[in-house]
């Protein structure tokens, strides 16, 4: 039997649509260890439904594979899968993927003592069912305002991928080059064969990425990260 006193101190569960501070969101989230994904976006709680294979699980894995190869060959860059990000007082998202420049080489995030990302990762990726998803509306506004430099949204059901880059406080669309390749402005050598990705041809996606990793721009980027680490004495 639960006493009246203990009921008074029971932590309420998270519910979709709750309006909470980030502190209260974390308090309730931590009290629900069975919960796999919940986000605070512009002060409102969003909880994910069950994730389907073709509309989320498979494209998520393909994006992670592409990013993993880049991170594995670029010292000073780290990849995260579904990490919680303490973005600001009203936003604590859990993006599908983040690619960040490590703090010891000049990145704009830090890892807190309790092992959370604090600040804005340089690149965030979200897998969205369609253009109606929160990823292209409230989340996009929060990411832009907090200075996330590049933001990729893969709208699986619409067979479309949008890659935004931050320019003077606004998100602009990154355009494919004449070879059909999207090239990151923040991570030199991070090249994406967009039509091949949308078509599920991961062999071609990784071949295009390998070209980027072999470019002079990527080599210079890696050298600059190493120089930054040496100058900081890390």
Distance of CA 80 to the CA centre of its chain: 8
Q: Is 39 helix (H, G, I), strand (E, B) or coil?
A: strand
pTM: 0.90
Which residues are CB-neighbours of 142 under 8 A, at least 6 positions away? 41, 42, 87, 88, 90, 91, 93
Q: What is the pLDDT of residue 234?
A: 62
The four Cα atoms 202, 131, 81, 198 give a dihedral, to 10 degrees, of: 0
pLDDT in tens, the chain (234 residues): 334 444 445 899 999 899 999 999 999 999 999 888 999 999 999 988 778 899 999 999 999 999 999 999 999 999 999 999 999 999 999 999 999 999 999 999 999 999 999 999 999 999 997 666 788 899 999 999 999 999 999 999 999 999 999 999 999 999 999 999 999 999 999 999 999 999 999 999 999 999 999 999 999 999 999 999 998 876
List the end-to-end C-alpha distance of the chain, in Å, as a whole number. 56
199-to-160, 193, 195 alpha-carbon distances in Å: 11, 10, 6
Are 113 and 140 contacting, i.e. CB atoms less than 8 angstroms apart?
Answer: no
Residue-wise over 127-154: b if at least 16 C-beta within 10 A, else e? bbbeeebbbbebbbebbbebebbbbbbb
What's 53-232's CATH class?
alpha beta
């Amino acid at each position: 039997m639960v006493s009246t006193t203990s009921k008074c101190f029971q932590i309420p569960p998270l519910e979709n649509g709750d309006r909470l501070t980030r502190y209260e969101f974390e308090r309730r989230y931590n009290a629900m260890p069975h919960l796999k994904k919940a986000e605070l976006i512009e002060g409102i709680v969003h909880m994910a439904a069950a994730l389907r294979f073709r509309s989320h699980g498979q494209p998520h894995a393909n994006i992670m594979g592409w990013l993993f190869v880049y991170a594995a060959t670029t010292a000073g860059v780290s990849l995260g899968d579904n990490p919680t990000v303490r973005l600001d007082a009203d936003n604590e998202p859990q993006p599908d993927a983040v690619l960040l420049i490590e703090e010891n080489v000049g990145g704009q995030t830090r890892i807190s003592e309790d092992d959370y990302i604090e600040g804005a990762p340089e690149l965030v990726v979200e897998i969205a069912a369609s253009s109606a998803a929160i990823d292209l509306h409230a989340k996009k506004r929060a990411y832009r305002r907090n200075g996330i430099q590049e933001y990729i949204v893969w709208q699986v059901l619409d067979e479309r991928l949008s890659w935004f880059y931050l320019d003077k406080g606004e998100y602009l669309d990154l355009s494919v080059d004449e070879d059909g390749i999207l090239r990151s402005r923040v991570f030199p050598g991070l090249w994406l064969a967009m039509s091949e990705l949308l078509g599920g041809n991961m062999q071609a996606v990784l071949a295009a990425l390998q070209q980027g990793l072999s470019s002079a721009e990527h080599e210079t980027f890696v050298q600059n990260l190493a120089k930054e680490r040496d100058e900081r004495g890390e």
